[in-house]
Amino acid sequence: MEKLFAKGNIGKMRLKNRVYMTAMTTGFAGKNGQPTDQLLSYYEERAKGGVGLIVTEIFKVNTVHGNALGNQLYALDPNNLPALAQMTARIHRYGTKMVAQLHHGGSTNNPDLNGGRLVGPSAIPNISGIVPEELTLEEIAELKQQFIMSAAMCKAADFDGVQLHCAHGYLLCEFLSASANQRDDQYGGSLENRCRLPIEILQGIKAVCGPDFPVLIRFSVQEYDPGHPNSISLEEGVEIAKAFEAAGADAIDVSCGNYFTMYGENMETYHYEQGWRKDATKAVKDAVSIPVMGMNNIKEPEFAETLLEEGVCDFVGVGRGHIADPQWVRKAYTGRSAEIRKCMGCMYCFESLLSIGYARCAANPRMGREYSFREQPVKNGDGRPVAVIGGGPAGMQAASLLANRGFDVTLFEAQDALGGALTLAGSTAPYKNKMLKMRDTLALEVEKSGAKVCLGTKADVDTVAALNPVGVFIAAGAKPVVPPIPGIDNAKVVLANDVVAGKVKVSGKVVIAGSGLTGMETAEMISRQGDVTELSLVDMLPQIGAGLYPSIYFNVMRNLAACNAQMYPGHAVKCIDDKGITMTKVEDGSELFLEADYVILALGLKPDKAMIQAFDEKFDRVYVLGEANAAPGRIGISISDAYIAAYCFDPEA
């Protein structure tokens, strides 16, 4: 991978390789806008992993109407300068450069964080239907100075440059896009006028910070927003890139989409393959002479190398790949690409950010916990035996870590191969092969750790007792939920896991009970097989697919709409017979009958309490993980449970 590890320049900034970590919000900043130890450790781990450039998460430039998060980096407070300088110092010790991303969310901000006030270039309803206030010329002038002075403060803190966030429907993107900008003054109308504010900010930063201080522009070259016909098209996006180059930008960071795009074009789910938007990046590359930075849903170093070879971009952006594995670059450089824990596109990071206020990663249990797990696990196993039951994601994680700590690990798996939930999740669609790659990486970790693997072996208490283990880790034992309703034992009733695993083949008229992710993706899978003539999804909840991350939900629903799948939210299965199922409408108790050749149960999983109790009664130290614990079916929680338990395991406590 000669090109990936070649040195390169962005303006006067010299980078040791062509990989940059894209800006991603973590929620780890302090309430006053300072970097916390949690955030410092998170970034330092990625610098230590060899990346050439880190673009930080968003810095707010305005505290009156510019708050996107409750805890967001902020450079205009002089009290934050020492902590920001510490952040850059900790990054620079590894030869990695750091650029601060300057941001204003515009009408996408949360009004609750801004005194109920939202602003934008024009009074155009945002994605929530809220109409922002149109910024006055005086407010635009003030905002422009806040961007410029934020850059000056970042330079004082020894940042290597700044990046203006002009993408994804945020304020500067709103000014660029005719769909959000309907002003009739010098900041609206023509493309030249719509580019005026970011260009004035760019040139103002150069005037204050000096011509050699790099200013990068991240922008949406194409908004993919069919609901707004005046949104940025690729042709217009290329012209915007040329305008930024002419104004003095040092590099163009090409992104796409905005927050009206339903399918996640600007933050791809697992439905998208690597490089799906490389033609848009290449269009910019062909139009400008300054460096082009490209985010193309990169998972694998080999693919990143092909983008450079094809001249798609000059620098490759790896975002969530660095969340999943901070050693992404180092492993690629040393020929260990197979060992990279690759992003699965599962959106667990975004889901966590929205639900608990900070990001987590399904693939990487240390993400955001680097400051807590900064020490290497204690190697005090001394060859003492440990049993791990279940070869799914939790079992593989626990087994490899315990073996690396020096324990004599035996991993029992009832199936003929390791994988568990990852194999099932990765089998529902071709685009979910990211799950299978994660499975293969975890299995490789188990192999390299030296743990013994017993496949096709369902461990019982006596089998495990023969090892005389100092600890037993149960990462199996979750069972599909099968409700006690009349006809549930009918031959036409099958389990979703059996359908996905290929143990059962369905055809004709099929009803799926349960519309969580398993039910939805089972529906997708069987709809592609061509043997299903009618497909229906039933759920007691008032919405089909409730709880799914929005862009995953919309992608699945789009695919199901193509096969004319029928949806029955707010209905409970009352009984099943040879002809079909009878449902009860939750709202009023009325009944509805659906003919069915097969009924697939996708009602979730529950722990096998009897199995767990049997082990708990026999052994002193029993640890219940993942699907066997409180959150069956969540790969991220399974891996996290296992990592923490194996890291902290003390056979003498």
* pLDDT at residue 419, as a whole number: 96
Q: Given 20, 74, 170, 187, which residue is catalytic?
A: 170
Residues 598 and 618 in one domain: no
**How many Cα atoms are found within 13 Å in the side-chain-facing hemisphere of 134?**
13
Residues 595 and 614 in one domain: no
Domain boundary among 315, 335, 356: 356
* pLDDT at residue 530, as a whole number: 86
Residues 439 and 454 in one domain: yes
Cα separation values, 428 from 261, 269, 350, 529, 624, Å: 25, 15, 22, 11, 27
Taking a C-beta distance cutoff of 8 angstroms, is the pair 72, 60 a contact?
yes
* pLDDT at residue 83, as a whole number: 97
Residues 18 and 152 in one domain: yes
Handedness of CA 152, 153, 155, 161 (dihedral sign): negative
* pLDDT at residue 606, as a whole number: 86
Residues 411 and 451 in one domain: yes
Question: Catalytic: 272?
Answer: no
Residue ranges of the chain with pLDDT lower than 50?
Answer: none
Residues 625 and 498 in one domain: no
Task: For residue 365, tell me if it sits in a domain.
Answer: no
Task: For residue 372, tell me if it sits in a domain.
Answer: no
pTM: 0.96
Q: Which of 171, 178, 276, 173 is nearest to 221 (CA)?
A: 173
Domain that holds residue 259: 8-356
Task: For residue 367, tell me if it sits in a domain.
Answer: no
* pLDDT at residue 628, as a whole number: 63
* pLDDT at residue 630, as a whole number: 59
Task: For residue 68, tell me if it sits in a domain.
Answer: yes
Residues 423 and 553 in one domain: no
Cα 477 from Cα 489, distance rounded (Å): 22
Residues 249 and 116 in one domain: yes
Residues 351 and 393 in one domain: no
* pLDDT at residue 514, as a whole number: 96
Task: For residue 3, tell me if it sits in a domain.
Answer: no
Domain boundary among 339, 356, 373: 356
Helix/strand/coil (H/E/C) assignment for every residue in 116-182:
CCCEECCCCCCCCCCCCEECCHHHHHHHHHHHHHHHHHHHHCCCCEEEEEECECCHHHHHHCCCCCC
Please give the full DSSP string across 288-346, using - where no structure is assigned: -SS-EEEE-----HHHHHHHHHTTS-SEEE-SHHHHH-TTHHHHHHTT-GGG-------
The percentage of the chain sitting over the pLDDT mark of 90, rounded to a whole number, equals: 92
Domain boundary among 356, 375, 406: 356
* pLDDT at residue 653, as a whole number: 81
Task: For residue 374, tell me if it sits in a domain.
Answer: no
Residues 406 and 504 in one domain: no
Q: Which helix H or strand E contains 609, and what residues bound it?
A: helix 609-618
Cα 227 from Cα 191, distance rounded (Å): 20
* pLDDT at residue 632, as a whole number: 59
Domain count within the chain:
3
Taking a C-beta distance cutoff of 8 angstroms, is the pair 84, 40 a contact?
no
CATH label of the domain that carries residue 410: 3.40.50.720
Q: What tens digit of pLDDT does each residue of 137-192 get?
A: 999 999 999 999 999 999 999 999 999 999 999 999 999 999 999 999 999 999 99
Cα 85 from Cα 368, distance rounded (Å): 20
Residues 204 and 141 in one domain: yes
Please give the full DSSP string across 5-54, using - where no structure is assigned: TS-EEETTEEESSSEEEPP---S-S-TTSPPPHHHHHHHHHHHHTT-SEE
Two structure tokens written together for 441: 């990486």
CATH label of the domain that carries residue 152: 3.20.20.70
CATH label of the domain that carries residue 518: 3.50.50.60
**How many Cα atoms are found within 13 Å in the side-chain-facing hemisphere of 71?**
16
Cα separation values, 160 from 106, 188, 467, Å: 26, 32, 56
Residues 398 and 423 in one domain: yes
Please give the full DSSP string across 616-650, using - where no structure is assigned: HHH-S-EEE-GGGTTSTT-HHHHHHHHHHHHHH--
Task: For residue 653, tell me if it sits in a domain.
Answer: no
Cα separation values, 297 from 1, 54, 121, Å: 18, 17, 30
